[in-house]
A and B are shown apart, each in its own frame.
Chain A
Amino acid sequence: MRFDAYQTDGFHDEMFDAAGNPRPEAKLLIETINSLEEGQLLRSQRAAERLLLQMGITFNVYGDSAGTERIFPFDLIPRIVRADDWDWIERGLKQRIRGLNEFINDIYHDKKILKDKVVPEEIIKSAAFYRPQCEGIDPPLGVWCHITGTDLVRHGDGQIYVLEDNLRVPSGVSYVLENRDLMKRTFPSVFEGLTVRPVSEYPEKLLEMLEAICPPNCSDIPTVVLLTPGIYNSAYFEHSYLARQMGIQLVEGRDLTVQDKTVFMQTTRGLRRVDVIYRRIDDDFLDPKAFRSDSLLGVPGLVEAYRAGNVALANAPGNGVADDKVVYAYVPDIIRYYLGEDAILPNVPTYLCWKDTDRKYVLDNLDQLVVKAANEAGGYGMLVGPHSTAMQREQFAARIQANPRNYIAQPTLALSRVPTLVEDHMEGRHVDLRPYILFGKDIHVMAGGLTRVALRKGSLVVNSSQGGGSKDTWVLSRNPEAAAS
């Protein structure tokens, strides 16, 4: 299989420039693939898929019949990120996380940014993920967003933008690690001659961060656990994978109990104290005493123990206030307000439907825009204007008018593409990129992240629940033209 017939179709392609010539950083990979024996690429692709199934690297599909598991489709052609692009992304992400963390801490304490009217107070009051129960809490090290999975996209203008921040319980990092592993097992030859930065240090860095945030009164070596909703959760594979990689206990809510504002786990030899919880349960279900009282997944009294400083939670409850897509529009102002700097990574221009002028523009241009519900994720509650029917647009117009606060709109981005195996040949498919950022004593950005790919032809929706797949992401430690000079 060769790239001879490959077309960029006028999109920004991560491997080829507008004239159809290989980009310098992709040249070697393209040559390697072109030199492969006929059929080998396809064989490796099939082998990779078989391995995924055998290893049980699957996710559960909600709304499907119980117990349906699918593999998260993996495409063998990697996505390459230049060293200089990455340096810029890394600086931008660190700045953004620092600014957002300051913001969340301020929102749950003095609310200076609201008093100074940089962010409108009514936005926070009406934010679905603002949690009054978290007012006045001082998390260890003052960190609220320990693990973030920021979504980045490259538009047709070649510029990289932040699409979403994903501060609450971002998932997908296990696929990054497994994808790299799979690549090395099925297709080792393509790594030759390239300086791809490793990703395997992530579990170590994650554990280091989790141990760093332990409460001051905990034992010498803190007991860290990962709290999962259980095997029917769509991200269960990841929970179990990360627990295994870190060598920590994977617990469910029913394994934990709170006594005297201290968290214990039930073991065969009685109760053992827990110091740090990497929780993969949403705020709502975390503690029926503090949040939704009908939650069966959570641990009664957990938030009280957390507030008393007897247990650390990552991520901190309440941090989702900054995940609101209306708050997102203010992030450049937030960064300027707290850090006195301009944002390095730009936002996608965003229209806020609660503003009269913006709403009018949105309603007049629905067929051009992407409309998103302010508090949904996973590609749900979204209208892609140019791909929509008149009826869908009518429905969305009605929803926007009924609840303008809950909708934002953005121009439809021409997401960049990467060559992707489609049956027996290569076609361009749209991608995004989700790097993972850890914040404990300092900020660590994983080299790369999850490249999600919309496998359906022409689709812009990359979510796994909507026909998305993933690719290995290669961040180069130096650009090939630098090595040659």
Chain B
Amino acid sequence: MTREKRPLLSRVADSVHWMARYIERAENVARFIGVNLHLQLDLPLAPAHQWQPLIDTSGDIEAYKERYGEVTEEKVIRFLAFDEEHPNSIYSCLRSARENARSVRETISSEMWEQINSMYLQIQLQRTAPHHDALPEILRGIRLACHMFQGITDATMTHDEAWHFLRMGRMMERADKTSRILDVKYFILLPSPANVGTPYDDLHWAAVLKSVSGFETYRKQRGRISPLGIVEFLVTDREFPRAIRHCVEVTGESLRVVAGTPTGATEQESERLMRELRKELGEAQMDIVIQSGLHEYLDGLQTRMNSIGDCLTQDFFMLRGEELAARARIGQ
């Protein structure tokens, strides 16, 4: 005998979603820092301002300036990786992911909990004064541990409604991070058209691809590095797991499952926004976009994804008052 499908608490859906977002955020920050460290070695005379874009990517430049002042490699790494007061540092993300996981331990699998818990215990040990030479390995360890968490999640958690909320969290965060790294790097590289085609420029563009683990795939698909090729690849590719379009498509699939709106019935607001975004990404032409302003375009994408996130909250996480009563009547 199987029981009626167990309903998912709104709070649990919210926590699972954010748990996944925080893990994805930690992984992205670890990769951004790792790639930049690597890049530094090829640009021996490059000034510390190579590190500024990383903070720009996280969108936290004001918090940084206030706490740390000038931009140096050591300070930026401390801020982005280990600062317990900076809510988007790797350490804080793992701590928040664990807090969320702790509050939904009965929903996620034991294996997922143990993985998150061990990641947190590990970074607690590592975060006090790590040696510079140990950093690449620490960052790699974090990335792998995050990947392992994704794998454990997909292999041990039943792919029910909660899993779909989790997957949406992962994918929305990923889309956001890809758009941000592209935005920031493009902004830096574009003002120097004279450099196009120089070795340094290629290094930077390769670093962008490596920041999203996309270098090898790009090479296989498109061969030579070109700004347009990279923008197309990272924005409109359907299959590459970190391309914005791919992330949006997958989020859309999960949204359809959790909304469960029958064909022809009235969509929820989140579904409507998602349908429009998918349509637009499917039709977007990057050469035209670049001419009229990539930054504005990416900014627009981020705003629309944020709106979808807000609508998820309204549609699923925070049912209150009148709507609750109305839904209760439908539910009975």
Indicate if the CB atoms of A268 and B10 lie closer than 8 Å: yes
Chain B CB within 8 A of A183 CB: no
Find residues 235-259 in chain A having any chain B CB closer than 8 Å to their own CB.
236, 240-241, 243-244, 248-252, 254-255, 257, 259
Chain B CB within 8 A of A391 CB: no
**Residues in B neighbouring A270, C-beta threshold 8 A:** 319, 324, 327-328, 330-331
Indicate if the CB atoms of B161 and A268 lie closer than 8 Å: yes
Cα(A254)–Cα(B318), bound, Å: 11
Chain A CB within 8 A of B9 CB: yes
Cα(A259)–Cα(B329), bound, Å: 12
Indicate if the CB atoms of A272 and B7 lie closer than 8 Å: yes
Indicate if the CB atoms of B102 and A231 lie closer than 8 Å: yes
B319 to chain A, nearest CB (A): 6
Contact among B103, B105, B161, B327 with A244 in the assembled complex (CB-CB below 8 Å): B105
**Residues in B neighbouring A55, C-beta threshold 8 A:** 110, 114, 117
* Chain A interface main SS type: mixed
Cα(A236)–Cα(B106), bound, Å: 12
Indicate if the CB atoms of B114 and A56 lie closer than 8 Å: yes
Would you give the 0/1 interface string for A260-274, flagging 1 where the beta carbon is closer than 8 Å to chain B? 000011111111100
Indicate if the CB atoms of A267 and B10 lie closer than 8 Å: yes
**Residues in B neighbouring A231, C-beta threshold 8 A:** 99, 102-103
Indicate if the CB atoms of B117 and A264 lie closer than 8 Å: no
Knowing A269-B331, A270-B331, A271-B328, the reply to whether A249 touches B103 (Cβ < 8 A) is: no
Indicate if the CB atoms of B11 and A255 lie closer than 8 Å: yes
**Residues in B neighbouring A230, C-beta threshold 8 A:** 103
Indicate if the CB atoms of B6 and A249 lie closer than 8 Å: yes
Chain B CB within 8 A of A221 CB: yes
Indicate if the CB atoms of A251 and B9 lie closer than 8 Å: yes
Cα(A150)–Cα(B331), bound, Å: 42
- Quick one: which of B6, B106, B110, B331 has the most chain A CB within 10 A? B106
Knowing A230-B103, A270-B330, A271-B327, the reply to whether A255 touches B10 (Cβ < 8 A) is: yes
Would you give the 0/1 interface string for B1-31, flagging 1 where the beta carbon is closer than 8 Å to chain A? 0011011111101000000000000000000
Chain B CB within 8 A of A485 CB: no
Cα(A250)–Cα(B9), bound, Å: 9
Cα(A324)–Cα(B149), bound, Å: 48
Give the number of chain B interface residues (Cβ < 8 Å). 33
Chain B CB within 8 A of A141 CB: no
**Residues in B neighbouring A259, C-beta threshold 8 A:** 325, 328
Chain A CB within 8 A of B118 CB: yes
A221 to chain B, nearest CB (A): 6
Indicate if the CB atoms of B114 and A54 lie closer than 8 Å: yes
**Residues in A neighbouring B317, C-beta threshold 8 A:** 268
Indicate if the CB atoms of B324 and A271 lie closer than 8 Å: yes
Find residues 265-311 in chain A having any chain B CB closer than 8 Å to their own CB.
265-272
A304 to chain B, nearest CB (A): 18
**Residues in B neighbouring A53, C-beta threshold 8 A:** 121
**Residues in B neighbouring A267, C-beta threshold 8 A:** 7-10
* Chain B interface main SS type: helix
Query: Which B-chain residue is minimally distant from A236 (CB atoms)?
Result: B102
**Residues in A neighbouring B331, C-beta threshold 8 A:** 269-272
Give the number of chain A interface residues (Cβ < 8 Å). 30
Knowing A231-B99, A272-B7, the reply to whether A249 touches B327 (Cβ < 8 A) is: no
**Residues in A neighbouring B103, C-beta threshold 8 A:** 230-231
Find residues 110-133 in chain B having any chain A CB closer than 8 Å to their own CB.
110, 113-114, 117-118, 121
**Residues in A neighbouring B215, C-beta threshold 8 A:** none
**Residues in B neighbouring A236, C-beta threshold 8 A:** 102
B93 to chain A, nearest CB (A): 16
Chain A CB within 8 A of B258 CB: yes
Find residues 219-242 in chain A having any chain B CB closer than 8 Å to their own CB.
221, 230-231, 236, 240-241
Contact among A221, A240, A265 with B9 in the assembled complex (CB-CB below 8 Å): A265
**Residues in A neighbouring B102, C-beta threshold 8 A:** 56, 231, 236, 240
Indicate if the CB atoms of A243 and B106 lie closer than 8 Å: yes
Cα(A326)–Cα(B313), bound, Å: 51
Chain A CB within 8 A of B186 CB: no
Indicate if the CB atoms of B7 and A265 lie closer than 8 Å: yes
Cα(A264)–Cα(B328), bound, Å: 9
Query: Which B-chain residue is minimally distant from A230 (CB atoms)?
Result: B103
A459 to chain B, nearest CB (A): 29
Indicate if the CB atoms of B117 and A56 lie closer than 8 Å: yes
Cα(A272)–Cα(B99), bound, Å: 26
**Residues in A neighbouring B325, C-beta threshold 8 A:** 259, 271
A279 to chain B, nearest CB (A): 16
Knowing A54-B118, A249-B6, A249-B106, the reply to whether A268 touches B258 (Cβ < 8 A) is: yes
Query: Which B-chain residue is minimally distant from A240 (CB atoms)?
Result: B105
Query: Which A-chain residue is minimally distant from B318 (CB atoms)?
Result: A266
Contact among A240, A243, A268 with B7 in the assembled complex (CB-CB below 8 Å): A268
Indicate if the CB atoms of A266 and B258 lie closer than 8 Å: no
A75 to chain B, nearest CB (A): 22
Cα(A271)–Cα(B161), bound, Å: 16
Chain A CB within 8 A of B316 CB: yes
- Quick one: which of A241, A248, A272 has the most chain B CB within 10 A? A272
Cα(A272)–Cα(B3), bound, Å: 14
- Quick one: which of B9, B103, B327 has the most chain A CB within 10 A? B9
Query: Which A-chain residue is minimally distant from B105 (CB atoms)?
Result: A240
Indicate if the CB atoms of A266 and B99 lie closer than 8 Å: no
Given contact pairs A54-B121, A55-B117, A243-B106, a sample of 16 additional A-B residue pairs in the complex whose CB atoms are under 8 Å apart: A55-B110, A230-B103, A231-B99, A231-B102, A240-B105, A250-B106, A252-B11, A259-B325, A266-B319, A268-B10, A270-B324, A270-B331, A271-B324, A271-B325, A272-B7, A272-B331
A selection of 14 A-B contacts at a CB cut-off of 8 Å is A55-B114, A55-B117, A56-B102, A230-B103, A231-B102, A241-B105, A250-B106, A254-B11, A266-B319, A267-B7, A267-B10, A269-B331, A270-B328, A271-B328
Closest 9 CB pairs of A and B: A270-B327, A267-B7, A271-B328, A270-B331, A244-B106, A243-B106, A240-B105, A56-B117, A268-B316
Q: Which residues of A contact B (CB under 8 A)?
A: 53-56, 221, 230-231, 236, 240-241, 243-244, 248-252, 254-255, 257, 259, 264-272
Q: Which residues of B contact A (CB under 8 A)?
A: 3-4, 6-11, 13, 99, 102-103, 105-106, 110, 113-114, 117-118, 121, 161, 165, 258, 260, 316-317, 319, 324-325, 327-328, 330-331
